[in-house]
Amino acid sequence: MLYKQKKALFANATGRVLDVGSGVGPTFKYLVDEASQEDNNNNSANRVTSVVSIEPNPFMQEELKRAAAAVKDKYDVTIIQKTIGQAIKDGDIENGTFDTVICNLVLCSIPEPEKILNEIQQLLKPGGKFLFIEHVVSKTGWSAFQSAINPLWNYIGDGCSLIRHTDETVANMSGWSSANITEIPRKKYIELRHVNGICIKE
């Protein structure tokens, strides 16, 4: 799902990358896309050099390790089996050390997304990139339906919320020198708004 949009978005990843909430590692394959990994001068500044993968769910670890092994010729992946908050608290990841932070359909599930977004910004180096693709609450009457079913959705979807305003939350943060957030055109039969964004830290 959203393959084309993810391919284009994650082609912007460079350097040391943090993948927040990796799941079983579907993001890794986008970071070895030839278009993003090569330039005419073979300039290493335009390549992903390493990935730190944060994923707390124990049931995803085996498949996540396999996904990491599949890209080991391109870059190293370090897997941390913790929440992002815990990894920060424990000093596993430090402020100002990442060139790129990625959230691929994750901010719908993370508790206290505003707090985590501020922490994500701090993890970036100045000039670093925050790349995200997320589903957000509808702008039509569907939002009432989404609100109504959200408790059940949250329960069966492992904490996933249908009613977050992630696009607005990110856009309203200070500390970006630019925030380019766009809505992804929807398939007619699915009323689930998706947005993606590239934000550059000041």
List contacts with ligand SAM (CB under 6 A). Answer: 20-23, 26-27, 54-57, 60, 83-85, 104-106, 109-110
- List the end-to-end C-alpha distance of the chain, in Å, as a whole number: 32
Taking the least distance from each CB to ligand SAM, the nearer of 34 and 158 is 158
- What is the radius of gyration, based on Cα positions, of the chain? 17
Taking the least distance from each CB to ligand SAM, the nearer of 6 and 16 is 6
Least Å distance between CB 43 and ligand SAM? 28
Taking the least distance from each CB to ligand SAM, the nearer of 46 and 198 is 198
Least Å distance between CB 68 and ligand SAM? 13
Query: What is the pairing mode between strands 48-54 and 124-136?
Result: unpaired
Least Å distance between CB 23 and ligand SAM? 3
Q: Name the H helices within 57-172.
A: 61-70, 84-89, 113-123, 142-156, 166-171
Least Å distance between CB 172 and ligand SAM? 21
Cα torsion angle, 6, 145, 143, 115, sign: negative
